[in-house]
Structure 1
Amino acid sequence: MSSRSKNILFLIFLVLLGGVAGTLVGDMLGSKFDSLNFLKDYSYNLGLTTPLVFDVKVLKITFGVSIYCNIMTVIGMILGVVVYRNY
């Protein structure tokens, strides 16, 4: 594996980690403080509402993707990119 692909994997890892951390922080702050309730309320669920099912009687595969996104998720992802650029 080349160093370039390792760097891209590290960037993806940091962006996902920042998104997860941002979502958790936004939910906690929105639940704890009424004035920061907009961090929790203005969120979007992107993805499939019902999973796709591929059934051939021998094998059944279910596909489903859903992304929960709020303001803090985006801020966390941006911070992940900033950390990567400074690393």
Structure 2
Amino acid sequence: MTWTRDNVRAELIEVLKGHAPGDVEVTDGSHLVGDLSIDSLGVMEVLADLEDKFKLTIPDDALREVETVGDVAKAIETRLQSDGRLAG
């Protein structure tokens, strides 16, 4: 499947909504820990869900560089692009 940046962000937000408490608004600028209250175990669960959703492997060390939803989206887009699965 070929993804677009818009598809990636929309799917990412849906995955994160499933892990964030209540009806917290999820935006590109949302911090995973501070705004979405996702702890380290939650991050690992999100990672597994994203790997399944996008059919890719995200190395654990890539998580050290992400703080916001936008950071996660960029990491996914970079991997999809290197696999030739990101349009545009």
TM range (shorter): 0.3 to 0.5
Hey, which of these two has a bigger chunk of strand by percent?
1
Hey, which of these two has a bigger chunk of helix by percent?
1
Based on CA coordinates, which of the two structures has the bigger radius of gyration? Answer: 1
TM-score in terms of structure 1 length: 0.34
TM-score in terms of structure 2 length: 0.34
